[in-house]
Amino acid sequence: MKEKLTIVKVGGAVVEDEAQLSQLLKDFSAIEGWKVLVHGGGRKATKVAETLGIESKMVNGRRITDAEMLNVVTMVYGGLVNKNLVARLQANGVNALGLTGADMNVIRSHKRPLKDGINFGFVGDVDQADGKMLSKLIEEGITPVMAPLTHDGQGNILNTNADTIASETAKALAPYYDVTLIFSFEKKGVLRHPDDDDSVIPTITHADYIRYKEDGTISGGMLPKIENALAAIDAGVSRVIITLATAIDGRHGTIIQ
């Protein structure tokens, strides 16, 4: 029987909200068994870029990453956000280690090709994640804290969507553990009506997703999140939940099946 492993992905909006972040780190620290934290940090990157006079360009919720912006996200994701989370987890009794995909070659990616005529710049689409290497760290009692940065094996860092990092990490670790993947953010789950915080859809299957996408119930940034969740289930991840950052114990949320 496989040991349990919980992967929690925390979004950039929560990283910027001190009350939510403190509660999430406390709850994460209390999770029994092995665990991994994956973080975003887009809002912080946008703020830092602004102070440096660098414009943030977004297309469908995805950041265009030119050379200047790559420097910003590398500093913010791999340094400022990642190391602050590591330090705070240490204060909560969790022996954490901050990682990008380049560290120990744990996540390799390629530069995203032109898509619908859009050049996303230094953005990475994942080729592979090394679950065996991550499992060695985990077995030593170390909690990886994964930043949304990968590398291409040619010396280049690439900006990579944090939901994708969480999904690919979960998929890579599924052969070794009984994996639960939790996408935590500022809502109670996937909402049927965006303006009604209590309109949580309790479960979403592949068929549900296709229907909700077609009728517009689900749109925008929630689409890739659910696609990542479904991909994780297809790859052998046991449970995937999309839920409120302050409720990672499962009392709220949308279960992806």
Burial class (CB in 10 A: 0-12, 13-18, 19+), 208: middle
> What is the chain's Cα-based Rg?
17
Q: Within 10 Å of residue 104's Cβ, how many Cβ atoms?
A: 14
Q: With cut-offs at 50, 70 and 90, classify the pLDDT of residue 125.
A: very high
Query: Average pLDDT, stretch 216-220?
Result: 90
In 40-114, at which residue ranges do the beta strands (DSSP E only) sit?
57-59, 62-64, 96-99, 107-111
Q: What are phi and psi of 158, to 5 degrees?
A: -130, 135
Burial class (CB in 10 A: 0-12, 13-18, 19+), 47: middle
Upper half-sphere CA count for residue 256 (Cβ side, 13 Å): 29
**pLDDT at residue 151, as a whole number:** 98
**pLDDT at residue 205, as a whole number:** 96
**pLDDT at residue 19, as a whole number:** 93
What tens digit of pLDDT does each residue of 188-211 get?
999 999 899 999 999 999 999 999
Give the closest residue to 142 by CA, choosing from 207, 96, 108, 73: 96
Helix axes 206-215, 222-234, angle to 10 degrees: 160
| pLDDT above 80 for 61 | no
Lowest mean pLDDT among 65-79, 161-175, 239-253: 239-253
**pLDDT at residue 220, as a whole number:** 83
Contact of 186 with 13, CB cutoff 8 Å? yes
Region of residue 156 (left: phi > 0; alpha: psi -120 to 50; beta: else): beta
**pLDDT at residue 148, as a whole number:** 98
Percent of the chain predicted with pLDDT > 90: 88
